[in-house]
Structure 1
Amino acid sequence: MPVQQRKVKGTPSDINVIYESKDEGKANAEAGPAAVIAVYQLSQKSEQELEVIEMENIILSDTLQQLTTGKEDNCSMCEVDWDQQAASCYSFSTSAKSWHNGLDACTAISASLVKIDTKKELEFLKHEMSKRVYVRQGQQFHFNFWTGLNYDNDIGNWTWADGSAFSFQLPLRLKEKLQTLQCHFTWNFEIRDKVDAIHILQTLALRIAHTHYQNQPALLAMQAYLCHLQGQYEDALQSLREAEEILQRDHPDNFPRQVLVIYGNYAWLYYHLAHYDLVELYLDKVRKICSSLKSHSPYAAQIPEIRAQKGWSLLAAGFRNGTEATECFQMALREDEANGEFLAGSAIAAFASWTHSHDSVSWNAAREKLSAIIHEQQQHFEAKVYLAKILKRANRQQAEALLEDVVQNSLDPEVLRNAAKFFQPEFPQQAIAILQRAISLNPTYHLLHYDLGYCYKKQLEGAKSGRREEILAAAIEAFKKAVQKDPTSVFAKLALAEMYGENTPHYQEEIYLNLMSEMPSLSKRCQQAVYLHWGDFLFYKQKSLWEAAKTYKAGFAIPDKYLERQQLKTRLEKVAGEFQQSSQTTEAEDIHDFIQENESP
């Protein structure tokens, strides 16, 4: 976003920090030239004299303050809607612009784009920008602004603030090297949408905070990558710093082998921030390590540590990646077959594969590997939960014994949430007790409240009339808290709407209409879910076949293959049946044709 800065008429074009008083009178005439000269010096003097210049600016700032003394309190050197900092006035654009468009907009009002020359100015701008947001497709974003890079008309090229030339070839050359790195920026995780990324970030934060397995640096590196996707670069860099510190502490003997992925992420992050000197610094670090490992590639090394870190990251991105993660850990184990971290990763990856295949081969592999891990790592509660799920039908007694240990001893809210899911279908009251303990450990995690509401919803299905209102109130309260903890959670809002529909359908309708208005900003899966629930409301509550059919069609037309799409198809077939029964055969045939046309190949 362009930040505009006022010029003083008649001053050199390369003066960076300048001001224009609202009053073109005495204050401007007397204070202006002095301020201009000081700032002109600041842009020309060597680094050794910066302290002197800074002091001169402070004195000049005090002088300006004295010159304006005696004016009314609301009298400012700056025009209305401009913010004053020292001797400069700043205006902040409310719309996104390219650099050239931003420059044109500034020139049209006799201002210039900001060029940041001091830390004080940078801190002022960061503070002001943090207070401003703009909306795009229903989502709020903080402003971003150009720093350091400007176009010099005299030489016809871009330059950095220190006057050094900018090369368009340098980023291209760097990117070619970056693309050969082994790190999260070159691995394909298939992050489906922003909602998926946010959910992964939430679960990652829990795992990092509550588990202390050897894979923590890999999870922090994954966290850094996801923060980058959200534009949270300082958070991303902080995650990498933490990962680097843990590796230095826990792996002092083979730190270079362990840190390659972290350095690769650093290089990519600084590339996106246009800090090309730091990109080259980290590329050089990677090159030196790869050279010491006698690698054939200057920026990659085929070592088990990297394969394992990729495996953990794939699992963090979703159990749908179980098969690929299994391959990573198997290759790592070929070179270090007794490594406990690799064995644990292989076991969890095997379980992840089974959750998507449910075949006997995957079941046996997961059971054997998880049993071996639990034997060696008694405190690996995540593995115990997964083994319990594997044994749920084959050995219910052993499964419940494993979960009893987990519930009594684990302090990981996500592990406890998974343990509660084991009991959710048949014993919701037991699941409620586990979730309440998890909430006591982390009351801000919205999925705990969502799952708690789901348990109450299950209880409601078979509740006696005397307890229905009590259970319904508990379900509504749980889903309300889930929405409060995460206002972006579409599924929590849909669940809350469904519970409101028991007694207050107008609240239910209001939630659906609000979600329909937000439709362009929602992920594809969330769009399908909203169309499904709104269609159900129209179909079952309002008995409007035409409107329900139209809504279900809109959802089914979204091609992404989620469970909701299959449910939308089922609803359309049911609506077609209703049309058929009422002798509206044309409408029924139209729905069947629509399904066939939009059916995925």
Structure 2
Amino acid sequence: MGGATTEGSIPLSLRLLETSVQRRKTMSTISKDSLKTSLLQLECHFTWTLLQEHVGLEALEDTIQDHIKYAEHNIVDYNILSYVCHLKNSNEEALRNLRKAEEAIQKHHPSEIARRSLVTWGNYAWIYYHMQKYEEAQTYVSKVENSCKKLSSNADGKIQLPEIYAEKGWALLRFGRNYFEEAKNCFENALRSEPDNPDFNAGYAIARYRLQDCAEKFGEEATPCLGALQRAAQLNPQDTTILALLALRLLHSGRGDEGERYIEEGLQKTPDFPIFLRHAANFYRKKGKVNKAVEILQKALALTPNSVVLHHQLGICYKSKILQLKKRRYIPQEVVEDLIQLAIFHLKTVIDKKPVFFSAYSELGNVYALGKRYEEAEEIFQEVLQRKDLPCDEKQFTYFSYGNFQRFHMKSESKAIKYYIEGLKIEKDSYGRKRCSEAVQTLLEQKIESHLGDATDIGTLGLVHKLNGKKQEAIECYKKAIALDPNNEDYQNELADLQLSISS
């Protein structure tokens, strides 16, 4: 009675139900795995390896929102904003931005909707996947795949569109200096199909500009970007961002007056465009016109009050004004105090909004020191040096700044030497390492030449030469140090190791 049973007295109907559930689970797993495989083939922000540890999400969101407000054709901005919203665990907001991207595509490219929507649809698919809405995700995967087959001349349906290369390039630029080289390559690929496209040329020129700027900052080789900027400016003279970057490169090349004409032209064309104003202010600050730079930055900040870059630039300008005042015989103390407070406010805002803006920590430490707020300076230097995500070249420059703080503000040459050497011990060639090397070598040589140096200073100079790969100079120093301190085993061991490495 009660129906057939199987072994173990489990009703057959229940066993069949369990088998059916297991089969559905297995099919669901297979379907989900297949979907993930398809998702990984898509060209969109989720497959471009854009890591959030390289940016401050709040600052990046503010930057994109500002660009949407002041720039035209915002498809690229809405797409990357959707990805940022996802990283902030706001998938509904991400979907809203993708709908805005679709509206922009329909408005600006009504005859190319499929071609222009591939990245947007890819982002849709990934966001629905993360929301565990697998049917919707599959729908968008299919839309991309079907569109690619129609647009492609290849049998396998693979497609390489210049617009996608360019959109990837713009996204990479947004995520900071770790991505600039790849961004340049993306714009190069886009330009192979459309060499005269103004947008692609602008992206390529900006990537080249940022690569050269970073290389100079960190003491590396870089290909000059002036030609790329000039070509981009010729193709679109209305792009005042390009005009400003061109002006900055001309200033760097000793052609500041020529550069200033481009800045004045930009101020006529786009007097209320914050991105241009930021670069224009940077130009005037580097040209020594700090008050003019502050005036422009304050105007730009009124337009985009959340801009981290503008806060940083203002902090640097106020620091420059403090240093200028301190050179005078009579210093109006209340003016200096006001400038110190302003600089601190803007630099703290940078760090709060974008904790990976590492150079701002040293700037803030230096401003605290200028205001004789030494404990706060010490605290900010220690905070950045203890960060696990501090890149080697940034760490070297921070050690240089911290060494200067110990030397000039705390009047401790021994601690300055210690921290310069810490920067030197990091083997990566960089501007910061070079500055550490120059500073510690000069300091030690001055002490030794003035007969204030002892065996310790000569031995330390030997270590500096050794870290710089100058073995013969290091040997000479260790020999002199041993002559003054014959029982020092450390010097004897270092000397023996160096002599052995030369002879072997």
The alignment status of 1:257 with 2:124, answered yes or no, reads no
The alignment status of 1:495 with 2:363, answered yes or no, reads yes
Do the aligned partners of 1:519 and 1:527 also contact (CA within 8 Å) in 2?
no
- Residue in 2 that maps onto 1:455: 317
TM-superposed CA distance for 1:176, in Å, is: 2.4
Do the aligned partners of 1:452 and 1:478 also contact (CA within 8 Å) in 2?
yes
- Residue in 1 that maps onto 2:290: 428
TM-superposed CA distance for 1:385, in Å, is: 0.9
TM-superposed CA distance for 1:515, in Å, is: 1.7
SS of 2:455 mapped into structure 1: coil
- List aligned pairs for 1:29-108, cutoff 5 A: none
More helix by percentage: 2
The match for 2:279 among 404, 414, 418 is 418
CA distance in 2, matches of 1:168, 1:571: 61
The match for 2:346 among 467, 478, 481 is 481
- Residue in 2 that maps onto 1:402: 262
- Residue in 2 that maps onto 1:175: 36
The match for 1:221 among 68, 79, 92 is 79
Letter in 1 for 2:33: L
Do the aligned partners of 2:343 and 2:367 also contact (CA within 8 Å) in 1?
no
Letter in 2 for 1:368: R
The match for 1:386 among 212, 220, 245 is 245
The match for 1:589 among 462, 478, 484 is 462
More strand by percentage: 1
- Residue in 1 that maps onto 2:70: 210
- Residue in 2 that maps onto 1:537: 405
Label 1:335 to 1:531 Cα distance change in 2 as closer, same or farther (>3 A): closer
Do the aligned partners of 2:121 and 2:143 also contact (CA within 8 Å) in 1?
yes
- TM-score w.r.t. the length of structure 2 is 0.72
Label 1:320 to 1:587 Cα distance change in 2 as closer, same or farther (>3 A): closer
Do the aligned partners of 1:532 and 1:567 also contact (CA within 8 Å) in 2?
yes
Letter in 1 for 2:139: L
CA distance in 1, matches of 2:297, 2:427: 35
Letter in 1 for 2:409: K
- List aligned pairs for 1:137-536, cutoff 5 A: 167-187=28-48, 193-195=53-55, 200-212=60-72, 214=73, 216-229=74-87, 231-296=89-154, 300-318=158-176, 324-336=182-194, 339-349=197-207, 351-352=209-210, 355=213, 362-374=225-237, 378=238, 380-392=239-251, 393=253, 396-408=256-268, 409-425=270-286, 426-463=288-325, 464-467=328-331, 469=333, 470-471=335-336, 473-484=338-349, 486-487=351-352, 488=355, 491-509=359-377, 511-512=379-380, 515=383, 519-520=386-387, 523-524=390-391, 527-528=395-396, 530-536=398-404
SS of 1:256 mapped into structure 2: helix
CA RMSD in angstroms comes to 3.9
Label 1:333 to 1:530 Cα distance change in 2 as closer, same or farther (>3 A): closer
Letter in 1 for 2:40: Q
Q: Note the alpha carbon deviations across 1:12-53, whole angstroms, 9 max, x for none.
A: xxxxxxxxxxxxxxxxxxxxxxxxxxxxxxxxxxxxxxxxxx
CA distance in 1, matches of 2:364, 2:88: 27
Do the aligned partners of 2:358 and 2:390 also contact (CA within 8 Å) in 1?
no
TM-superposed CA distance for 1:284, in Å, is: 0.8
SS of 2:370 mapped into structure 1: coil
TM-superposed CA distance for 1:402, in Å, is: 2.4
5+ residue gaps, structure 1 = 1-153
Letter in 2 for 1:473: D
CA distance in 2, matches of 1:252, 1:385: 33
TM-superposed CA distance for 1:325, in Å, is: 4.3
TM-superposed CA distance for 1:275, in Å, is: 3.4
CA distance in 2, matches of 1:404, 1:512: 39
CA distance in 2, matches of 1:297, 1:268: 26
How many residues were matched structurally? 432
Do the aligned partners of 1:247 and 1:255 also contact (CA within 8 Å) in 2?
yes
CA distance in 2, matches of 1:303, 1:520: 40
SS of 2:277 mapped into structure 1: helix
Q: Note the alpha carbon deviations across 1:365-393, whole angstroms, 9 max, x for none.
A: 4313312310xxx3x22122123224335
CA distance in 2, matches of 1:179, 1:410: 44
SS of 1:466 mapped into structure 2: coil
Letter in 2 for 1:462: Q
Letter in 1 for 2:372: T
SS of 1:341 mapped into structure 2: helix
Label 1:503 to 1:583 Cα distance change in 2 as closer, same or farther (>3 A): same
Do the aligned partners of 1:573 and 1:591 also contact (CA within 8 Å) in 2?
yes
- TM-score w.r.t. the length of structure 1 is 0.61
Report which stretch shifted further, 552-561 or 264-273. Answer: 552-561
CA distance in 1, matches of 2:92, 2:446: 56
TM-superposed CA distance for 1:255, in Å, is: 0.9
Do the aligned partners of 2:75 and 2:104 also contact (CA within 8 Å) in 1?
yes
Report which stretch shifted further, 307-316 or 343-352. Answer: 343-352
SS of 1:391 mapped into structure 2: helix
Higher relative contact order (CA 8 A, sep 6+): 2
CA distance in 1, matches of 2:417, 2:80: 42
TM-superposed CA distance for 1:194, in Å, is: 3.7
- Residue in 1 that maps onto 2:476: none
Letter in 2 for 1:524: P
Label 1:530 to 1:337 Cα distance change in 2 as closer, same or farther (>3 A): closer
CA distance in 1, matches of 2:204, 2:371: 49
CA distance in 1, matches of 2:318, 2:77: 33
TM-superposed CA distance for 1:183, in Å, is: 1.9
Do the aligned partners of 1:512 and 1:530 also contact (CA within 8 Å) in 2?
no
Percent identity between matched residues is 27
CA distance in 2, matches of 1:524, 1:156: 54
CA distance in 1, matches of 2:90, 2:395: 26
Do the aligned partners of 2:232 and 2:242 also contact (CA within 8 Å) in 1?
no
Label 1:457 to 1:509 Cα distance change in 2 as closer, same or farther (>3 A): closer
CA distance in 2, matches of 1:502, 1:171: 59
Q: Note the alpha carbon deviations across 1:576-600, whole angstroms, 9 max, x for none.
A: 5477533313343345445659xxx
CA distance in 2, matches of 1:344, 1:587: 50
Do the aligned partners of 2:204 and 2:228 also contact (CA within 8 Å) in 1?
no
Do the aligned partners of 1:323 and 1:349 also contact (CA within 8 Å) in 2?
yes
Label 1:513 to 1:206 Cα distance change in 2 as closer, same or farther (>3 A): same
SS of 2:319 mapped into structure 1: helix
Label 1:506 to 1:246 Cα distance change in 2 as closer, same or farther (>3 A): same
Q: Note the alpha carbon deviations across 1:288-338, whole angstroms, 9 max, x for none.
A: 111221453767422222222223333334477666545544544554456
